């Protein structure tokens, strides 16, 4: 099967959040209403992902960009499905793995809850659940893809913001759409950053990525590459030893101490302004 991709066209999203509920319907994920509270904006849980929330639509008010009408944009946040997936490299038990189609799949049964992937991901995607000691994330509806169906979010999207298919076709569509929106959004661009090997979730953004909570030049952390090439081959039995001796240990230690939240996407800072122009926080 060919390499696939999903286009997320921020210039077309109407912010209805059908994708969020569709994802939960398909994967039988409960709504996390017990913790939900209004945080000063439309987003749920400040736009962050959760163990049961693999997709979240982030709302960006950008009134001062000189556009007419003033900007209010909606970015569907989910796994980027990197070409060089740091999470896969970091995973000591191969619970995360790339499929031949380029989807980064997650075998939750195999996950040991070590959270290396969480630290490694430059987009803040994997979500850890302490009781289950597992992570979760979007798997691009791999079960549907194998049956020739598009991901449920793409299927349900009313605004035509989401599109799924062969990567070549998706990249061509992204280019074509970029040309048509150039007049409305002179700073529009395609986002599939090379530092992580390109992403199977491809954005068409109306402006620079930092305005939409995305890292400008995400890279696979050097520590992860080291882990991948040197330490990981020692095998899972040596995880403890590896932790003591590799840079990954330092990464994890920092996270445990509350720092190093990862670049974009993770909007967990409870003191931050809501709906701010991105780039000023996190």
Partner 1 sequence: MRARVSRRRFLGLAGAGTALAWLVRLGYDVGPARAQVRDLKTAATTPVHSICYFCAVGCGVTVSVRDGELVCAEGDPDHPISRGRLCAKGMALHEMQRNPDRLTRVLYRAPGAAGWEERSWDWALDRIVERVKQTRDATLEYKNAAGTTVSRTEAIASLGGAILNNEECYAIVKLMRALGVLYIEHQARI
Partner 2 sequence: MTNHWVDLKHADVVMVLGANPAENHPVGFLWALEARRRRGATIISVDPRFTRTSAVADLYAPLRPGTDIAFIGGLIHLALETGRFHRDYVVNYTDASYLVDEGFEFRGGLFTGYRPQTRSYDKATWKYQVDEEGKLLRDPTLGHPRTVFQLMRAHYRRYDPDTVSSVTGMPKETFLRVADAFLAAAAPDKTGTIMYAMGTTQHTVGSQNVRAYAMLQLLLGNVGRPGGGVNALRGLSNVQGSTDLGMLFHTLPGYLPTPSEATHPDLAAYDATTPGGYWVNRPRFLVSLLKAFWGQHATPENDFAYDHLPKLRAGKDYSHIALFEDMYDGKLRGLFCFGQNPACSGPNAGKEAKALERLDWLVSVDVFENETAGFWKRPGVDPAAIKTEVFLLPAAHVFEKSGSVTNSGRLIQWRWKAVEPPGDARPDLWIVHNLALRLRAAYARSQRAEDAPIRHLTWDFGPAENPDPEKVAAEINGYRVGTREQLDSFGALQADGSTAAGCWIYTGYHGSKGNRAAARELDDPGEMGNYPGWGFAWPLNRRVLYNRASADPDGRPWAPDKAVIWWDAGQGRWVGHDVPDFVPTRAPTDPGGRSPFIMLAEGVGRNFAAGMAEGPFPEHYEPYESPVSNALNPVPLNPAVKIWTGEGNERGDASEFPVVASTWRLTEHQHSGAVTRRQTRLAELVPEPFVELSPSLAEARGIRSGDWVVVRSARGQARARALVTPRIQPLAVNGRVVEQVGLPWHWGFLGLVTGDIANVLTPHIGDANTMIPEYKAFLCDVRRAEGV
Q: Where do contacts with partner 2 occur on this chain (CB under 8 A)?
A: 12, 14-18, 20-21, 24-25, 30-33, 36-42, 44-45, 53, 61, 63, 68-74, 158-160, 184, 273-275
Q: Does 59 bind partner 1 (CB under 8 A)?
A: no
Nearer Cβ to partner 2 (31/168): 31
Q: Six-digit token pair at 128?
A: 């850890």
Task: Give the nearer residue to partner 1 in terms of CB position, either 10 or 224.
Answer: 224
**Interface with partner 1 (CB under 8 A), residue from 36, 110, 182, 241:** 110
Burial 193-205 (b: 16+ CB within 10 A, else e): beebebbbbbbbb
Q: Of partner 1, partner 2, none, which one sits near residue 251, judging by CB under 5 to 8 A according to partner kind?
A: none
Using CB under 8 A as the binding rule, whether residue 1 contacts partner 1 is answered as yes
Q: Choose from partner 1, partner 2, none: what does 81 bind? Cβ within 5-8 Å by kind.
A: partner 1
Binding mask 132-151 for partner 1 (x = CB under 8 A): ----------xxxxxxxxx-
- Tell me whether strands 201-205 and 4-9 are parallel, antiparallel or unpaired: parallel
99 part of the interface to partner 1, by CB under 8 A: yes
Nearest to 260 by CA among 122, 106, 113: 122
**CA within 13 Å, CB half, 108:** 13
Whether the CB-CB separation of 99 and 53 falls below 8 Å is answered with no
Asked if 253 contacts 243 with a C-beta cutoff of 8 angstroms, the reply is: no
Question: Which residue in the block uniquely carries the two structure tokens 């163990």?
Answer: 51
DSSP per-residue letters across 75-98 = EEE----BSS-HHHHH-TT--EEE
Opening angle at CA 80, ends 76 and 83, nearest 5: 160
**Contact by Cβ (8 Å): 6, 101:** no
Least distance in angstroms from the C-beta of 18 to partner 2:
7
97 binds, among partner 1, partner 2, none (CB under 5 to 8 A by kind): partner 1
Is 259 near partner 1 (CB under 8 A)? no
Give the shortest CB-107-to-partner 1 separation in angstroms: 4
Using an 8 Å Cβ cutoff, are 63 and 70 in contact? yes
280 touches partner 1 by CB under 8 A: no
Pick between residue 63 and residue 233 the one whose CB is nearest to partner 2.
Answer: 63
Instruction: Confirm or reject binding of residue 167 to partner 1 (CB under 8 A).
Output: yes
Of 54, 81, 55, nearest to 137 by C-alpha is 54
Give residues in contact with partner 1 (CB under 8 A): 1-4, 16-18, 20-22, 24-26, 31, 81-85, 88-89, 94, 97-102, 104-105, 107-110, 142-150, 152, 155-158, 165-167, 197-198, 200, 228-229, 233
């Amino acid at each position: 099967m060919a390499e696939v991709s999903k286009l997320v066209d921020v210039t077309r999203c109407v912010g209805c959040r059908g994708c969020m509920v569709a994802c939960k319907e398909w994967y039988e994920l409960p709504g996390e209403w017990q913790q939900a509270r209004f945080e000063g904006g439309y987003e749920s849980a400040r736009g962050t992902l959760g163990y049961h929330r693999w997709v979240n639509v982030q709302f960006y008010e950008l009134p001062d960009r000189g556009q007419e009408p003033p900007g209010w944009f909606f970015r569907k946040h989910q796994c980027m499905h990197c070409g060089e997936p740091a999470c896969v490299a970091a995973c000591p038990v191969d619970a995360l793995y790339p499929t031949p189609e380029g989807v980064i799949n997650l075998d939750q049964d195999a996950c040991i809850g070590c959270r290396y992937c969480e630290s490694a991901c430059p987009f803040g995607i994997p979500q850890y659940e302490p009781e289950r000691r597992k992570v979760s994330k979007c798997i691009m509806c791999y079960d549907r893809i194998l049956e020739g169906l598009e991901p449920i979010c793409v299927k349900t999207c009313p605004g035509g913001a989401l599109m799924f298919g062969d990567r070549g076709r998706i990249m061509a569509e992204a280019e074509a759409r970029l040309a048509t929106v150039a007049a409305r959004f002179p700073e529009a661009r395609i986002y599939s950053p090379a530092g992580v090997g390109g992403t199977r979730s491809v954005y068409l953004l109306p402006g620079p990525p930092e305005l939409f909570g995305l890292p400008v030049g995400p890279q696979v952390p050097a520590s992860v590459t080291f882990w991948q090439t040197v330490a990981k081959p020692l095998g899972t039995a040596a995880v403890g030893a590896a932790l003591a001796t590799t840079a990954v240990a330092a990464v994890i230690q920092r996270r445990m101490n509350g720092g190093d939240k990862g670049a974009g996407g993770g909007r967990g800072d409870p003191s931050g302004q809501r709906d701010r122009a991105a780039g000023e926080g996190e």
